């Protein structure tokens, strides 16, 4: 059976499903091809959604353990029901998958289950699980095949004891100990989940700080906070190998003093980044090129070497974030539609869902220094916020970087309660190229965490804080 669509989207993650919906909204006959039996890709099935579900559950437990007494609430026999915690997480994932099925139906998008492989630039062959395959033709194709976990030399992922985030999100027991290779986003989120429920967690990070690609002060503050929660943080550590001993894993590494050392734990989670996924996609039957990191090469319109084939999300260059993939999805469909969309990659926020949360947008202080830009800094600690004190949230700060001449916002970095939501106002401010003064001359409700932003804008402008 042969079908011809206006737009065929390959992959149903946040890039793919948003592209399909936008395409249908604009009147295109659209199909979405997904090799797994559930829609949603990494984000919905084994990424953003399940990790946030587990982060929320374990944070509730941790709060009950560490703060309830002070609030005057006593609970006897507080304990974790790990099966129920995992069951709720699975339920949340399923709700999101059902939501996507509903959206595909509502927008009359054809779902084609199976693995897509290009035959040429206008046809793919879709291989189903039962071995059958059929041809699907399209005027345009959007590749949104995402990414897979990567590893380092000497560490072979066996999905048993040497695991990735996918397995760590569905363990069926609470381990006694876990080593995490990589103190990036996945490393610190997974460390938070497991340390809160009593697992002895050690993070082995190659760089000299946690979340090293973000503003350095955030990593420093996070290290203090996670250390208070009994997470062992080993910076400047170079892992050499990991070996599965049956019921444990031994990790050999060179420590910060260049000494060989070893650590034996129940599980070793490898969180050293992800690699683009193009395996079996038949790109050799097209003129599409990959760069040295295996990412699909696109031009400024996210068009590949083939005029009718675009690529978006984790499989191309840029930050591997769900909302980046979503922006690119809309951008590509509107480009095909003859519109003139725009993405400002400097204004894509970055969020880490530890507690407190971390969120940032724009330039880091290190980037401004490197570029020899003159800037001023406004930093306000949450310990000086009335709202934060009421909630016993004493950790973290807001750091605003603005241009010395006019005060234009250059970067905003937050580590503190609800930072993930607070960052939105900084993104809006920067989108409209506002100054630190514009941002403090508006009213912020009292008492709110957002007042910490107002104070940081006041300090950056040179006027000075009210509450510090």
Cβ contact 296:277 at 8 Å: no
- Give the number of other CB atoms < 10 A from CB of residue 69: 11
Minimum distance, C-beta of residue 271 to ligand NAD, in the bound complex (Å)? 4
Residue 187 binding result from ligand NAD, ligand FAD, none, given CB thresholds of 5 to 8 Å by partner type: ligand NAD
Site string for ligand FAD, 185-224 (x = CB under 6 A): -x--------------------------------------
Residue 154 binding result from ligand NAD, ligand FAD, none, given CB thresholds of 5 to 8 Å by partner type: none
Binding-site ranges for ligand NAD (CB under 6 A)? 152, 181-187, 189, 204-207, 212, 238-239, 271-274, 319-321, 351-353
Structure tokens at 11: 């992959």
* Residue with Cβ nearer ligand NAD (96 or 434): 96
* Residue with Cβ nearer ligand NAD (183 or 417): 183
Window 256-285: residues binding ligand FAD (CB under 6 A): 277, 280-281
CA-wise closest residue to 412 among 403, 401, 425, 424:
401
Residue 42 binding result from ligand FAD, ligand NAD, none, given CB thresholds of 5 to 8 Å by partner type: ligand FAD
Q: Is 146 in the site for ligand FAD (CB under 6 A)?
A: yes
Cβ contact 19:144 at 8 Å: yes
- Give the number of other CB atoms < 10 A from CB of residue 365: 17
Residue 413 is among the residues annotated as catalytic for this protein: no
Residue 34 binding result from ligand FAD, ligand NAD, none, given CB thresholds of 5 to 8 Å by partner type: ligand FAD
CA-wise closest residue to 243 among 158, 184, 130, 327:
158
Phi, psi of 25, rounded to the nearest 5 degrees? -60, -35
Cβ contact 245:140 at 8 Å: no
What does each C-alpha distance from 157 to 107, 294, 333, 387 come to in angstroms? 39, 20, 37, 45
* Residue with Cβ nearer ligand NAD (30 or 147): 147
Structure tokens at 201: 């967690």
Residue 382 binding result from ligand FAD, ligand NAD, none, given CB thresholds of 5 to 8 Å by partner type: none
Locate the DSSP E strands across 176-259: 177-181, 200-204, 232-234, 238-244, 249-254
Binding segment (CB under 6 A) for ligand FAD, from list 38-46, 72-80, 83-91, 337-345 = 38-46
Q: How many residues in the shown chain lie near ligand FAD by CB under 6 A?
A: 36
Q: Is 16 in the site for ligand FAD (CB under 6 A)?
A: yes
The CA-based dihedral angle spanning residues 185, 190, 191, 193, taken in that order and rounded to the nearest 10 degrees: 130
Minimum distance, C-beta of residue 378 to ligand FAD, in the bound complex (Å)? 27
CA separation for the pair 222, 216 (Å, rounded)? 10
Among 30, 57, 58, 147, binds ligand FAD (CB under 6 A): 147
Q: Which contacts of 285-288 are long-range, i.e. CB under 8 A and separated by 24 or more positions?
A: 285/117, 285/118, 285/119, 285/120, 286/118, 286/120, 286/121, 287/121
DSSP 384: G
Minimum distance, C-beta of residue 231 to ligand FAD, in the bound complex (Å)? 17
Minimum distance, C-beta of residue 322 to ligand NAD, in the bound complex (Å)? 7
**Which helix (H) or strand (E) segment is 33 a member of?**
strand 30-34
Q: Is 53 in the site for ligand FAD (CB under 6 A)?
A: no
Minimum distance, C-beta of residue 353 to ligand NAD, in the bound complex (Å)? 5
Catalytic positions, written as ranges: 446
Please give the residue ranges that form the binding site for ligand FAD (CB under 6 A): 10-16, 33-36, 41-43, 47-48, 51, 115-116, 144-147, 165, 186, 277, 280-281, 313-314, 320-323, 325, 353
């Amino acid at each position: 059976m042969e079908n011809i669509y206006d737009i065929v989207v390959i992959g149903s993650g946040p890039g793919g499903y948003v592209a399909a919906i936008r395409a249908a909204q604009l009147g295109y006959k659209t199909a979405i091809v997904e090799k797994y039996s559930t829609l949603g890709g990494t984000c919905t099935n084994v990424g953003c959604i399940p990790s946030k579900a587990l982060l929320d559950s374990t944070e509730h437990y941790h709060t009950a353990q560490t703060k309830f007494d002070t609030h005057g609430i006593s609970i006897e026999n507080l304990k974790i029901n790990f099966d129920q915690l995992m069951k709720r997480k699975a339920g949340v994932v399923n709700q999101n998958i059902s939501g996507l099925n509903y959206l595909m139906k509502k927008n009359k998008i054809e779902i084609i289950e199976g693995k897509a492989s290009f035959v040429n630039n206008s046809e793919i062959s879709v291989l189903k699980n039962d071995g059958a395959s059929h041809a699907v033709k399209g005027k345009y194709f959007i590749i949104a095949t995402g990414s897979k976990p990567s590893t380092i030399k000497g560490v072979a992922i066996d999905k048993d004891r040497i695991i990735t985030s996918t397995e760590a999100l569905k363990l069926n027991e609470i381990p006694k100990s876990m080593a995490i290779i990589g103190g990036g986003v996945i490393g610190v989120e997974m460390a938070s989940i497991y340390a809160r429920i009593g697992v002895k967690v050690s993070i082995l990070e190659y760089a000299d700080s946690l979340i090293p690609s973000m503003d350095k002060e955030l990593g420093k503050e996070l290290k203090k906070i996670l250390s208070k929660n009994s997470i062992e943080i080993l910076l400047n550590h170079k892992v050499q190998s990991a070996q599965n001993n049956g019921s444990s894993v031994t990790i050999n590494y060179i420590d910060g003093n260049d000494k060989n050392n070893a650590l034996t734990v129940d599980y070793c989670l490898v969180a050293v980044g992800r690699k683009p996924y193009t395996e079996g996609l038949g790109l050799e039957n097209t003129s599409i090129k990959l760069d040295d990191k295996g990412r699909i090469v696109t031009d400024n319109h996210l068009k590949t070497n083939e005029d009718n084939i675009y690529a978006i999300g984790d499989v191309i260059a840029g930050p591997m974030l769900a909302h980046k993939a979503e922006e690119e999805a809309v951008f590509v469909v509107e480009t095909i539609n003859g519109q003139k969309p725009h993405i400002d990659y400097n204004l894509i926020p970055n969020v880490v869902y530890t507690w407190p949360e971390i969120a940032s947008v724009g330039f880091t202080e290190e980037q401004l220094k490197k570029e020899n830009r003159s800037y001023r800094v406004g930093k306000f600690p949450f310990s000086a916020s009335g709202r934060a004190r009421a909630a016993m949230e004493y950790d973290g700060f807001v750091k605003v970087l603005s241009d010395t001449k006019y005060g234009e916002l250059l970067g905003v970095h937050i580590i503190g309660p609800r930072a993930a939501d607070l960052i939105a106002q900084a993104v809006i401010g920067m989108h409209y190229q506002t100054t630190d003064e514009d941002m403090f001359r508006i009213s912020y409700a009292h008492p709110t965490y957002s007042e910490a932003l107002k104070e940081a804008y006041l300090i950056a402008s040179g006027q000075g804080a009210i509450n510090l």
